[in-house]
Copies of this chain bind each other. A is one copy, B any other.
């Protein structure tokens, strides 16, 4: 009846992050922070969880002299998101 909702994606901030990353080649920490309105601490923690799950790749580089954390969604992330959306549909089909 109801499909399970991947708890890693069923979180407002992590879902927003994945939603952003799915539409772009990559996005950096500051951009994601601006788009989501999240605090830096919260974003750092949630990105880490997504990285540990293998849903995003995080590359630490520099933009000029300033550190720049670049994030990309992985294939596993794409798959998980697609499944999450399908699962959601079992709850919201009207």
Return A59 CB to nearest CB of chain B, in Å: 24
Selected from B1, B10, B16, B19, the residue in CB contact (under 8 A) with A12 is B10
| Chain A 1-21 interface 0/1 with B at a Cβ cutoff of 8 Å (1 = within) | 110110100101001100100
For the side of the interface on A, what is the size category? 10 to 19
Return A5 CB to nearest CB of chain B, in Å: 5
A92 CB contacts on chain B under 8 angstroms: 19, 85, 88
Closest to A4 in B: B12
In the assembled complex, 22 residue pairs joining A and B whose CB atoms fall closer than 8 Å, in A order, are A1-B35, A1-B36, A2-B12, A2-B16, A2-B19, A2-B35, A2-B36, A4-B12, A5-B12, A5-B15, A7-B12, A10-B10, A10-B12, A15-B91, A16-B91, A19-B91, A19-B92, A22-B94, A85-B92, A85-B94, A88-B88, A88-B92
